[in-house]
Structure 1
């Protein structure tokens, strides 16, 4: 058997612990017909764990399947909960690094909301780079001081100078992580005072809660705090801060070009043994958690109860395709109006707006991200919907606990 090299540290022998076949290669593209959604190109997932650095990677990842284009609809900017978090984070960064009248670069800027916010708060100048940026679908209204480049970040943009570099929810989409972070470090070779800020999903929670809905094809790279800090140090950054936010869903790192030493964060970084144990728990319990979900949804369907998902993004696609759910759930709900009338990749459920539920009156609403539960409950109450509201995270944790007691 061929030894698998770790994309983060170069060590051989990644241990594959979770496999899925033929999952949609994208989960947030706007797919106009059910036929297109069901037949969208697919790839395999084989998650490998590096026992040397703690990094987790889809060892079967094929980047040629990806389509980061104007159809890519990743924004969370229609949620008041998310917008409050984004503003709080932007205000924190502006104050902490005195980002006033500065040059800011955002790698993977999406629809441009965050860099626009940073520039507005501190009267900064910004450049955002993302192949899926579409001005017409952005919620931001950038001033003349913000420029967008519709492309992937690469060596050709190394000349762009910045006082502050932002990269939010992008590194998890990049397979060769060390090569990418190393490229950013080389671009800052003569800018030692420039600070970089990266935000990614924290895999610790995914492993501990058997969060299979957070494993999908776009995410080929999975980090814990320790594996992220080790990567940045290995690539020549000094770590300034390392922390979690947004209900411990997001992992944040702040760093500057340096010797690779910098501050240490023992409580967060010394997680290699814990991650190895979590991987083994996930390997052992995931099949049983999936089976419990299938049984629950089959029971609801047999009883004639209407079940909808709230959240049509990647979590929703991963939930439906991993479980193979089609007839048990007919609709998914999303507050993003750009998605209404489109269809879920892989399984083909139609995406509808919240107002649809006023007449549909579901019996069960499965919330795909628990941090939005209160926001969703308020919307359901306003619509006169009295369904059972089930958090996918809580059900996954409960299922895992039941497995442990069996």
Structure 2
């Protein structure tokens, strides 16, 4: 019987069952196409006691993140998002050359490079050796490790307490949420700040963003469940910002309990919105599976109709979310000829489960397909601009989430 990893309750209710898929970042080489793939259930449940939405921890972070296919800097808009965050936070917290900032899951230095440029001492704690190496090549000090209470204590002992600890898009990626949270508290100064960005379950459900459910994401947060999670490490949420990133995220500002004080009105406002949507009770989760099924039917109907007409559809991007969508819909190369990605690591490989070939982006201009299915729909503005050239031959863009939308570029 599955137990809630936050509160230990066995009172977990079904939200949506997406079947069984391979881990979303386990891209295949040509040689591996002749080998079997291991699949794992992808079944989201919500705890009726603490409201943490979660999937079973069937794979370990070590399986996924020791060598990782995702490099943050390949997204121009994400690097700009990080630059803006650094500029605003340096001013907000008055960070300077006497400060110390730690980022957990710092990837290839996409964020900390902006602090280095401002001469603010910093350290990345990044478990993936290959992307950590890329960060160090940019001049970003990086420790190759998974965060735990012990790792947090080691960082504090070596570098001193951190004025700010940043954890962007990682709080969903760790099965030991209690241990990870205690690791955050171990690093942050007793009067310091913790900033966490994570996708908001409210927008995930409201906008049918079910493709962001995959095995790397062990849990999915409301502000209410994030409050409970951070409390287990001695941290209190004092402020929250609603962000457009990843289709809708929350930036949580937390401080050690002793200095936190009362939460801002924005915290109370977002909690009220979650409650109004029914996410603090089971009723709010009842119809999500039906909306997910509709997305699948719409996309398959479009792809099969295009195939019947002899039209070519290719993909843009090979993100983890795209692999959830492709596997859930059962899409194969007969319906999606190939996809492309800016990350050279993925070129010549194949998507897990669906085994769709991945090429360099230049192939789209060479082949002039009728449609381009945009898999990282959360980067819609950035990618619509990047793909504006498909209008030269009358090509169109297709966005599958939250509802199928076919877009004539420039219209």
With the shorter chain as reference, the TM-score category is 0.7 to 0.9
Partner in structure 2 of residue 105 of structure 1: 102
Q: In structure 2, list runs of 5 or more residues that go unmatched.
A: 157-161, 407-411
Residues 13-162 of structure 1 aligned to structure 2 (within 5 Å): 13-25=11-23, 27-29=24-26, 31-33=28-30, 35-36=32-33, 39-59=36-56, 61-63=58-60, 66-70=63-67, 72-101=68-97, 102-121=99-118, 123-134=119-130, 138=134, 141-143=137-139, 146-157=140-151, 158-161=153-156, 162=162
Partner in structure 2 of residue 254 of structure 1: 253
Could you tell me how far apart the structure 2 residues matched to 1:202 and 1:38 are?
A: 37
Which TM-score applies when normalising by structure 1? 0.87
Residues 325-344 of structure 1 aligned to structure 2 (within 5 Å): 325-326=331-332, 327-344=334-351
Shift of 1:282: 0.5
Partner in structure 2 of residue 401 of structure 1: none
Partner in structure 2 of residue 404 of structure 1: none
Could you tell me how far apart the structure 2 residues matched to 1:127 and 1:40 are?
A: 37
Which TM-score applies when normalising by structure 2? 0.86
Secondary structure of the 1:378 match is helix
Could you tell me how far apart the structure 2 residues matched to 1:226 and 1:37 are?
A: 46
Count the aligned residue pairs: 389
Query: Could you say if the C-alpha distance between residues 140 and 392 of structure 1 is closer, same or farther in structure 2, counting changes exceeding 3 Å?
Result: farther
Partner in structure 2 of residue 310 of structure 1: 316
CA RMSD after TM alignment: 2.6
- Of 319-328 and 370-379, more deviation after overlay is shown by 370-379
Query: Could you say if the C-alpha distance between residues 77 and 218 of structure 1 is closer, same or farther in structure 2, counting changes exceeding 3 Å?
Result: same
Confirm or deny: 8 A CA contact 2:209 2:402 kept in the other structure: no
Secondary structure of the 1:172 match is coil
Q: In structure 1, list runs of 5 or more residues that go unmatched.
A: 399-406
Partner in structure 1 of residue 306 of structure 2: 300
Confirm or deny: 8 A CA contact 1:20 1:45 kept in the other structure: yes
Confirm or deny: 8 A CA contact 1:130 1:149 kept in the other structure: yes
Confirm or deny: 8 A CA contact 2:242 2:251 kept in the other structure: yes
Secondary structure of the 1:171 match is coil
